[in-house]
Amino acid sequence: MRCPYCAHEETQVVETRESEEGDVIRRRRRCLHCEKRFTTYERPEIALPAVVKKDGSRVEFDPAKLKASMTLALRKRPVSVEQVDAALERIQEKLLASAAREVASSRLGELVMRELKRIDKVAYVRFASVYREFEDVDAFRQLIRDI
């Protein structure tokens, strides 16, 4: 670890503490050159895949954006925040388990629809009607029949 004060590359760990939740390690360090102390934090880095949109552009996966889309479909439906959070967690777990560096937005949409179908059929139909961009009523009727 490089010293933030003098940029010397040799430091010594003086103290190590783990957070109460166990997800962060705090280390107090001392520079062996200038003797100043500083703190570093270690956190696990979770690498979710980038999202490849229909136009080929790539954006960083944003759980808040995904939650906003699901919340919009679930508007005025009897679904708890905990259910939505659990669905989002399942989607993220599937993305992490795939170990892919990129995921197509269509695949992400399918994962969302699967979760919405599981927790609320009306929200599923709402999301699918926008996501699938139905051109005619017959295709929409078929979706409803499939439920």
Examine the domain organization and report whether 61 and 102 are in the same domain: yes
Q: Which residue has the tokens 């629809």?
A: 113
Number of structural domains (the chain) is 2
Tens digits of per-residue pLDDT, 87-104?
Answer: 999 999 999 888 889 999
Mean per-residue pLDDT for 61-66? Answer: 91
Whether residue 6 lies inside any domain: the answer is no
- Residue 55 pLDDT: 93
Phi, psi (rounded to 5 degrees) for 33: -100, -55
Examine the domain organization and report whether 74 and 128 are in the same domain: yes
Whether residue 30 lies inside any domain: the answer is yes
**Stated pTM of the model:** 0.62
For residue 113, the enclosing domain spans: 50-146
E-assigned strand segments in 9-106: 11-18, 25-31, 37-42, 50-52, 58-59, 102-104
CB 15, CB 28: distance < 8 Å = yes
Examine the domain organization and report whether 30 and 54 are in the same domain: no
Whether residue 69 lies inside any domain: the answer is yes
Residue 127: burial class (beta carbons within 10 Å; 0-12, 13-18, 19+):
buried
Q: Which residue has the tokens 């599923």?
A: 124
Whether residue 4 lies inside any domain: the answer is no
Examine the domain organization and report whether 63 and 125 are in the same domain: yes
Examine the domain organization and report whether 102 and 78 are in the same domain: yes
Examine the domain organization and report whether 115 and 138 are in the same domain: yes
Whether residue 2 lies inside any domain: the answer is no
- pLDDT category at 139 given cuts 50, 70, 90 is low
Examine the domain organization and report whether 87 and 131 are in the same domain: yes
Mean per-residue pLDDT for 46-68? Answer: 91
Examine the domain organization and report whether 66 and 136 are in the same domain: yes
